[in-house]
Amino acid sequence: MRSVTVLVTTSLLSLVLATPARAASIDYVALGDSYSSGVGAPGQTGLCLRSDYSYAARWAARNSPATFQFLACSGATTDDVLGSQIPALKSGADLVSITIGGNDAGFAPTVVTCLTASDSACAAKVNQGKAYVANTLPGRLDATYAAIRAKAPGARVVVLSYPLIFDTASVLCEMSVAKRKSINDGARVLDEMIEQRAEAAGFVYSDVRDEFIGHGVCSTAPWLNGLTIVPPQNSYHPNSSGYVNGYLPALSGAA
């Protein structure tokens, strides 16, 4: 019995010691848009609004990789990733994370329409986004993923999803239940396409929607900001809790 205990203890100790050693040898690169740069959290800096409270910076702080390239930028589309982020990506990167596709699909104008117009106008705008996701986004994602693989052929690439933004059970909210359901359904369609194309590229897809269940905008414990006047870009992005309790575990579990 004592020998079994010693074996188990030794094995667990080996795992604990091996994890930091492995991370210390990793070159990690964070690509993507505002959901990767950390918009919505405190301490955003520069034109790309990068924050040390983003999931990428928190993962780097916890794991102390050999190098950390923080290339994610607020407002980025697939064209931006292709044009400015991937050229800067280290060819010897071991781990790459990315969120991309939301801006291509018209996230910001959709939210504005849903805030200011009728339920039907909101649904129509969301449907425009769904059509884009079905017909145009697949090719853009494929090109982006292929370029990442070509630039960093040995990297483990983790593609993270977007959360469903709204809680739909609460009565009081800044948007009607119908609008909240429309936006969430648009996010679902987008995430499903991202999953499909990421897996087709041979990448690891990590879905954050489970982590955010019960923590949408207008819930009792939201992990996303609602409409924010100052600073306005924080609207409908994860707060600190969303990055540390939602996105960070999703990356850590897939990395």
How far, in Å, CA of 243 to CA of 41, rounded?
A: 8
CA atoms within 13 A on the CB side of 215: 20
Rounded to whole angstroms, the Cα distance separating 246 from 200 reads 25
Name the active-site residue from 34, 37, 206, 219: 34
10 Å Cβ neighbour count for 67? 13
- Strand 67-70 to 95-99 pairing: unpaired
215 is catalytic: no
134's tokens: 């079905």
Question: Alpha carbon of 18 to those of 11, 14, 67, 130, 156: distances in Å?
Answer: 10, 6, 18, 44, 18
Per the residue annotation, which of 37, 51, 206, 237 is the catalytic one? 237
Distance CA 152, CA 155 (A): 6
Q: Where are the alpha helices (DSSP H) in the chain?
A: 2-24, 34-37, 55-63, 78-80, 107-116, 119-135, 137-151, 177-200, 240-241, 248-254
CA trace torsion 250, 156, 58, 159 (10° rounding): -50
Residues annotated catalytic, as ranges: 34, 237
